[in-house]
Each structure stands twice: as structure tokens, then as C-alpha cells.
Structure 1
Amino acid sequence: MRPDLSHIDTWLFDLDNTLYPEESGFMREVEGRMTEFVMKVTGLAREEAYALQKKYLAEHGLTLKGLMLHHGVDPAEFHALFHDLSLEVLAKDAEMLAALSRLPGRRFIFTNADDKHAERVLGHLGLRGLFDDVFHIGSFGYAAKPDPLGFQRMIDAHGFDPAAVSFFEDSEHNLKPAADLGMTTILVGGKALASTAPFVNHRTAKLTPFLITARLKETT
């Protein structure tokens, strides 16, 4: 059945592993550099550093937030780790560009990454001009997804009506606060179809086919 998104006029997208497939392996490179940074900051061996990295992610929604709170890490120093990563594994997708272009209303990025990373990735994918704004980690004062405060700051900044917003994410737990606010939630990626979370409205392994087949609001 075609997903009915005819009530949507605001389109909210996570960036990493959502606007490009997880299979690209790009986020494995990000994660590897993150582990090396945790090793440097804490003096831990790789295995212990990786475990701490995941612990902070689970507790705070963002490894960086744990590093800031417990180790005084400067977020600018942390984000600079990823600004020279090669983007060659990320392929431009003409079908996705067309699918995004047909969406009526406003389009936004909502990411726990910083502004430079978001601009680099969107530019490489040829998608930068399709979005009205990038709401990045600095925009919401490091109240990272799934912190409801980050969602509320985004709503306040852009005047969203949550009932008319769809939110696309590859991380299931980041959809819970969106659903609580009344947004339509779409889980994207290889694990999406196996999800049974009651707060997920739609599930799709791949973003582009979902957007192409969705029923949209009619425009005149």
C-alpha cells in the first residue's frame, strides 16, 4: 500500500545513514575516529574506549555529550576529527534528488552532527539546495536527539506544526520524542522492517522508493 503522507507539509530528515545507505560504510570511518579520540582523551585501550563510547551514546544520545560532561572535551575539537574524511564512498543518487524535489512544503535536516559535516555531506550528494535549513547539534545547544529539548528548540525556531511534520530517521529511539509530539515517524534502513516499536508509523529499508510511492498533499 502507498504510504499516506498527504497531511504533511514539513519534511524532516536525519542525515547520516538516512540520506545515504548504511552499507556505504561511511559511518564506520566516523566511529573509528571517534574511538581513537576517546582513547586519546581517557588513556583507555581500544576495547575499553569503544565500550565507553557506546555507554555515553546510550546515556546521552551522543558520545560527545558524555565527553563534554565527564572529560571537558571541546566540541569544536571533537567535530574537527571528521572534517577531512573522504566522502568518496557516498554516491550521488539522481532518483533520491528527484524524490526529494517533489515533496511539497519545507524540507529540513535534523542532525546530531555539526554544521560543517552536514554541509560537506549534503554538498557531496548534490542535495544542499533542496533544504530550507540544517538544524545541527550547535543549533539546539547540544541537546542531542533523542532529548525532547532539542526537538522543542527546533519547533520553536522554525514554527513547525508537529501534526504536519514527517521525520525520517535510521535510529529507532530518536523517533520516540517525535511521535510524542505528534509527528509522523518513518524508520529507514536495513533494520527498519523488523521494528515493532509502536511509535514508528512507517518502515522502509530504502528511502527513495518510499518517497516515490508516498501519497502527497495536492498542490495547485
Structure 2
Amino acid sequence: MLDALARIDCWIFDLDNTLYPASCDLFARIDVRMTAYVARLLEIDPVEARRIQKAYFHEHGTTLAGLMAEHAVDPADFLADVHAIEMEVLVEDRILVETIARLPGRKLVFTNGDGDYAGRVLDRLGLGSAFEAIHDIHACAYEPKPNPAAYAAMVERFGIRPDTALFVEDMARNLVPAKTLGMTTVWIDNGSEQGPSDQYLDHIDYRVADLATWLHDIMGTAHA
């Protein structure tokens, strides 16, 4: 494993359910606010609002992308509203903090959320200063993962060489464009995946249950 990863000089991480355990269920709080937002916007009941919300997620990549396409929603208003949540469920994982600090090369966060929210999450996790930058939904011009344009924008913005980059995600479908570009891919198989993943297996290089343990193992090997 160490030999295979020796060329990696850019480590890219998804945020939600990747840099913290899916068991925290933080996204459920955002999910509730998204349903409420759709209900208010369309003046419909919560059951129908949730159906539409999930349909937009599957058809457009994110609920926001669907709302922008179908209803010209202001993305800043939507993101500020749905991310206004408490984060007391997040706790610092010292093993993760220390191993990310030891990774050689550049470190980035690539998220379909916005930078302000991502910054709050990272601060709660003790990772506020661990990353060079956050490539968020604004930087992607609101083209969310897994839209290839989002990955192309990140590669261009930071001058990334895909063949020496590694991307970590909890949603297997979001690894497909990264692998197509030539990145090494890591799927965090922690139960957060929505929908079947078998069709994406050819795009996954490493399948791990816990990010901190995996990073600790490969960094431990490097220092053995």
C-alpha cells in the first residue's frame, strides 16, 4: 500500500460523513431544514416537500441544484438557511487530526456544501488549520459532485495533477469523475451511501470503514 501511495502529493477529502463518522448523523439536521425550505418555497406539505427534495437530489446531484434549475432559488439564501444547525455531535478525533497533519503534500477539502459551513465543521473537528483550502459549491459554480465540471474546476483552480492526487469520499458515485481523471480513490464504506454502489466498484481503489484507522495504518507503515 505504501509503494502504491508514494507518488501522492495532493490529498483531497470530502467533508460530511468522511471527516467525521456517519454515526454523528449531522446531515440529518441539514436534511430536515432542506425539507422545510422546500415546503415553504413551494407552499406544500412536508411529505410532498421531502419527495421533491429527494427527487432533485437524485436528478441534479443536490437539492440546491434542482431548486436552482426548477425554481431559480438564490443559492446563498438556501445554503445559509439549511446550514444553520448546531454541531455539538461533532468531536475531535486526535488520531485523525495527527495523521492528516503527517500526510506529505497538499491537503484540500472538496464539498457540495459551502465554505462557511465547512469551516465550522472543521473547527469542531480540530481540523480548522489542517487544509490549504476548501473547494465548495460556490467555487464549483453550483455544479455539484458528481458533475465532472466540479472536479475540472478544482483541478484548474489548484493546479492539481490528477495522477498524483488521492480523493476520499463516502459516496461511491462521487468517486467516478475523480477516477476518470486519473486520481487514486478511497471510498469510506460507513453506511452513509445512498443507493446501490456495485456499479461504481471499478472506480474505487481502496474501500475502508474508518478514515482515521486507514490513514494511521498507512502512515504507521511509512514510519516503520
TM over 0.5: yes
- Distance (Å, rounded) in 2 between the aligned partners of 1:47 and 1:3: 51
The question of whether the paired residues in 1 share the 8 Å contact of 2:17 and 2:192 is answered with no
Q: Please say if 1:204 is aligned against 2:208.
A: yes
1:161-180 alignment, distance < 5 Å: 161-180=161-180
In 1, are the aligned partners of 2:110 and 2:134 still within 8 Å (CA)? yes
1:92 aligns with 2:96: no
> Over aligned residue pairs, what C-alpha RMSD do you find?
2.2
Q: What is the match of residue 151 of structure 1?
A: 151
* Bigger helix fraction: 2
Any conservation in 1 of the 2:12–2:107 contact (CA below 8 Å)? yes
1:124-165 superposed Cα distances (whole Å, 9 cap, x missing partner): 111011101100110111111000011001100111110111
Q: Equivalent residue of 1:198, what SS?
A: helix
Does residue 122 in structure 1 map to residue 126 in structure 2? no
Secondary structure of the 2:88 match is coil
C-alpha contact 1:56 1:63 (8 A) present in aligned 2 = yes
Letter in 2 for 1:91: V
**Residue type matched to 2:147 in 1?**
D
Q: Which residue of 2 aligns with 1:10?
A: 10
CA distance, structure 1, for counterparts of residue 221 and residue 10 of structure 2 = 11
Contact 1:192 1:203 in 2 (8 A): no
Segments of 5+ residues of structure 2 without an aligned counterpart are none
Taking structure 1 as the reference length, what is the TM-score of the superposition?
0.93
Tell me the amino acid that sits aligned with residue 210 of structure 2. Answer: K
Shift of 1:217: 11
Q: Deviations over 1:174-218 (max 9, x none)?
A: 000001001011011324899541111111111001111126997
- Aligned residue for 1:142? 142
Secondary structure of the corresponding residue to residue 12 of structure 2: strand
* Secondary structure of residue in 2 paired with 1:92: coil
Segments of structure 1 that go 5 or more residues without pairing to the other structure are none
Distance (whole Å) between structure 2 residues aligned to residue 30 and residue 209 of structure 1: 27
8 A contact 1:95–1:208 mirrored in 2: yes
SS in 1 for 2:202: coil
> Which residue pairs with 1:214 in the alignment?
218
Higher RCO (CA < 8 A, seq sep 6+):
1
Cα 1:195–1:71 shift into 2, 3 Å: closer
1:9-63 Cα shifts (integer Å, max 9, x gaps) = 1000000110001100111111011111111111222222111111111111111
How many residues are aligned here? 219
Q: What's the secondary structure of 2:129's corresponding residue?
A: helix
* Inter-partner Cα distance in structure 2 for 1:144 and 1:213: 31
Contact kept, 8 Å, 1:115 with 1:134, in 2: the verdict is: yes
Q: Aligned residues: percent identity?
A: 39
Task: For 2:40, give the aligned amino acid.
Answer: K
Distance 1:65 1:38, change over 3 A: same
Give the letter aligned to residue 106 of structure 2: R
Q: Structure 1: how far apart are the matches of 2:41 and 2:14?
A: 28
Q: Please give the secondary structure, in 2, of the residue aligned with 1:203.
A: strand
**What pairs with 1:65-84 in structure 2 (closer than 5 Å)?**
65-84=65-84
Work out the CA distance in 2 between the residues paired with 1:6 and 1:210.
15
- Does the 8 A contact of 2:22 with 2:192 survive in 1? no
